[in-house]
Amino acid sequence: MTRNDNLAAVADAAAGDGAVRASGESSTTVREMRDRVAAAVVGREHELDMLLAAVAAGRDVLLEGPPGTSKTTLLHAITDAWGIPLQFVEGNADLTPSRLIGHHNPARVLREDYSPDNFVAGPLIEAMRSGGFLYVEEFNRTPEDTVNTLLTAMAERRIAVPRVGIVAARPTFRVVASMNPYDNVGTTRLSTSVYDRLCRIAIGYQDDAAERAIVVRRTGIDSDRAIADAVALTRATREREDIWQGSSVRGAIDLVLLINQLAAIRDVVLPQADSVSPPRGLPESYTSIVLDAMHVALSGRIHLDETVDATPESVLHEIWQDHFLLEPAAAEPG
């Protein structure tokens, strides 16, 4: 079985006896494929099951959730496990059908005229030809004519390219789109015909334990205290009424990295979780570092309600005060 045939075999298995056979000697079940993918992802077992089931069943998918909720990580894990390409495009006003499909090389056209040989494939054609996933981020920012081009590719699994001919998709080709339901600036409402072509998976933020595990994996910082505080402070930005969109776990990752660097610059030893738990009475040298790091790591990631007469820094200072002075038990590691 070739690398590009893996997903097709999984799809056949999902519709048949549930086994993927390699060269007649062994079989790999969809469950075993799932376990292989899960090793690269922290948590997300439920979402992984749904996404894997959808793509194995031959469906195109819409992932709906805020930034930093492992959507891209899930796709990378699946395509890496199966050895198929992942073509990434960002939905915006510049994503025209020609950018998505491709174009003829102007210099070669002048010398040779139009021909299939001088066609430069865009991400859609590359994904169709290679049997990869086309991942369209911020799908609801994509122009309507570009969305219609995608709908044709999804419905027909082939597309006509002028002066090139018909490009047929390999069996493993999938379109996976994502969008942030909380962001309405510069977005368009997707039509019912678009939703009718896609399976939809809602993805929310992970729980506290999963986010701590992600921060540990991404930073490698050996301070349970700093990690517990960073995650708790970041999660607190999602719970305030004056913030309409808080920070994802990416903010916690950057917060821990900045705390670690500031501690080195100021010659401060980071406390461990068991030294003071809950975090009341922590050294000011440490808590002041956390506040400074919050301003850098989180101020650009939180979006205040339009009716709020405050700055991101002042709101973050309130969160810092609540965490270390008023409600420290919220950050107790464990």
What pLDDT, on a 0 to 100 scale, did the predictor assign at position 34? 85
Instruction: Report DSSP state, residue 181.
Output: T
Neighbouring-strand partners of residue 63: 178, 201
In sequence order, the β-bridge partners of residue 216 are none
Q: Which residue has the tokens 């990378």?
A: 76
Give dist(CA 153, CA 126) in Å, integer. Answer: 12
Q: For the chain, give me the number of helices (H) and strands (E)?
A: 14, 13
pLDDT tens column, 275-292: 545 667 789 999 999 999
In the numeric block, the tokens 């970041």 are attached to: 234
* pLDDT at residue 150 in the model: 93
Q: Give me the CATH code for the 208-331 domain, please.
A: 1.10.8
| pLDDT given at position 327 | 60
DSSP 42: S
Token pair listed for 203: 């993805």
> How many CB atoms within 10 Å of residue 147?
24
Query: Which CATH number does 58-202 carry?
Result: 3.40.50.300
Residue 221: other Cβ atoms inside 10 A: 18
Q: Cα separation of 178 and 110, whole Å?
A: 39
- Pick from 251, 230, 325: nearest CA to 284: 325
Q: Measuring CA to CA, which residue among 174, 182, 177 is closest to residue 91?
A: 177
Peptide bond into 278 cis (omega under 30): yes
Task: Return the pLDDT at 32.
Answer: 78
pLDDT value of position 109: 60
At position 224, the amino acid (one-letter code) is D
Please, where in the chain does CATH 1.10.8 lie? 208-331
- Do 53 and 201 contact (CB within 8 A), yes or no? no
Q: 172: closest CA among 2, 53, 7, 37?
A: 7
Pinpoint the alpha helices (H) of 176-223.
Answer: 192-196, 208-219
pLDDT of the residue at 186: 57
pLDDT at 294: 98
* Closest residue by Cα to residue 173 from 51, 1, 5, 2: 5
Residues of the chain with pLDDT below 70 are 1-29, 108-110, 113-115, 183-187, 273-279, 327-334
The CA-CA-CA angle for residues 187, 193, 197, to 5°, reads 100
- Say how far residue 209 (Cα) sits from the centre of its chain: 19
- Helices 249-265 and 208-219: angle between axes, nearest 10 degrees: 50
Backbone angles phi, psi at 294, to 5 degrees: -60, -45
Residue 44 confidence (pLDDT): 85
Q: Which of 267, 229, 269, 266 is nearest to 251 (CA)?
A: 229
Alpha-carbon separation of residue 33 from 20, 30, 45, 58, 77 (angstroms): 9, 5, 13, 16, 11
pLDDT at 6: 54
- Tens digit of pLDDT for each residue in 95-145? 999 999 987 777 766 677 666 777 888 999 999 999 999 999 999 889 989
Q: pLDDT at position 83, please?
A: 86
Tokens (6 digits) for 283: 């050294």
The first and second tokens of residue 134, run together, are: 């086309």
Give the model's pLDDT for residue 249: 95
CATH 3.40.50.300 in the chain: give the residue spans.
Answer: 58-202
Cβ(126)–Cβ(87) under 8 Å? yes
